Structure 1
Amino acid sequence: MRREDWPERLAMFVAGARSRAFAWGAWDCTTFADGAIEAVTGAARFEDLRGGYDSAAGALAHLRDVLGVPDLPAALDLRLPRRAVPFARRGDLMAFAAGLDALPALGVSTGPLAAVLAAEGITVRPAAEALIAWGVD
């Protein structure tokens, strides 16, 4: 369930993440997605996936070890409902092509745009370019 003040909390979360540099296991798609979920709902859902790796290969191995899934979209599928990209709402998570090390980049919908984690911090992409969306409720 979304908090009453989730729009403000999500905006503060994204603003705070803008200049934070990507770091495997410390500030990556998993921690970014979980932070966005926590801003919207008040509860993290992927604490068990945080840390324990320092590379793309390590992140994938960690997902296999902890959840038995091959990648982060499969992990999100276990805990969040998929939503058709055109029906994604503000605060929903989205996956985009061309992330780091050929992995998808994760973002959070802010309306027609999405805040997407990249090597240099947060970038903005059209939400319509997302490959997958997950509902955050």
Structure 2
Amino acid sequence: MKRLPDWELRLSDLVGQRLAEPFTWGANDCVLFAADGIAAMTGIDPVADLRGQWACRGEAVRVIARLGGLPDAVAALGLESVAPLFAQRGDLVLHRRDGTDALALCLGNQLAGPSDSGLLFFGLENGVQAWRVG
């Protein structure tokens, strides 16, 4: 998976579009936000075959469990694993939110992920695992 020449603009556009969009299972949850980020940067939707398979937390948990959990699902994409503090703009970062694994996009010195009130921004030090995109 290679980043497109204008990946930074595409990532910025995605973040701008999602700033006020609330978390919604199956539309703007952490997995789909991360996948939309990858698609924006590379032109490849890594979860095209999974879209539409969940509309609530329980369904999402079942689908992700079938894939071995978030870390295994991301690893299956063939992305290089890096220490969270070495994540760079556009990389995926796994963090724990309310005791649950969640994905976020690295925007440089902070992470972004969907929340009930739109995008939530928080420090890179909250990362547990990270993967280089492109």
TM-score (norm 2): 0.89
Tell me whether 1:74 sits opposite 2:38 in the alignment.
no
Structure 2 equivalent of residue 29 of structure 1: 30
CA contact (8 A) 1:112 1:128 kept: no
Q: Hey, what does 1:85 align to over in structure 2?
A: 84
Comparing both chains, which one has the higher relative contact order based on Cα–Cα distances under 8 Å and sequence gaps of 6 or more? 2
Partner of 1:111: 108
Structural RMSD (CA)? 1.5
Partner Cα separation in structure 2 for residue 103 and residue 13 of structure 1: 24
How many residue pairs align between the two structures? 132
Matched with 1:98 is 97
* 1:55-83: CA deviation from partner (whole Å, max 9, x where unpaired): 2221121234xxx3232222111112221
Describe the SS at the equivalent of 1:47. Answer: coil
Counterpart of 1:117, as a letter, is P
Contact 2:7–2:42, Cα closer than 8 Å, also in 1: yes
Q: 1:11 to 1:120 in 2, by over 3 A?
A: same
Any stretches of 5+ residues in structure 2 without a counterpart?
none
**How many Å separate the matches in 2 of 1:55 and 1:10?**
26
CA-CA distance at 1:20 after TM superposition: 0.9
Counterpart of 1:90, as a letter, is R
Runs of 5+ unmatched residues, structure 1: none
Q: Confirm or deny that 1:55 pairs with 2:56.
A: yes
Q: Does 1:135 align with 2:124?
A: no
SS in 2 for 1:105: strand
Distance 2:55 2:3 in 1: 32
Question: Which runs of at least 4 in structure 1 moved beyond 3 Å after TM superposition?
Answer: none
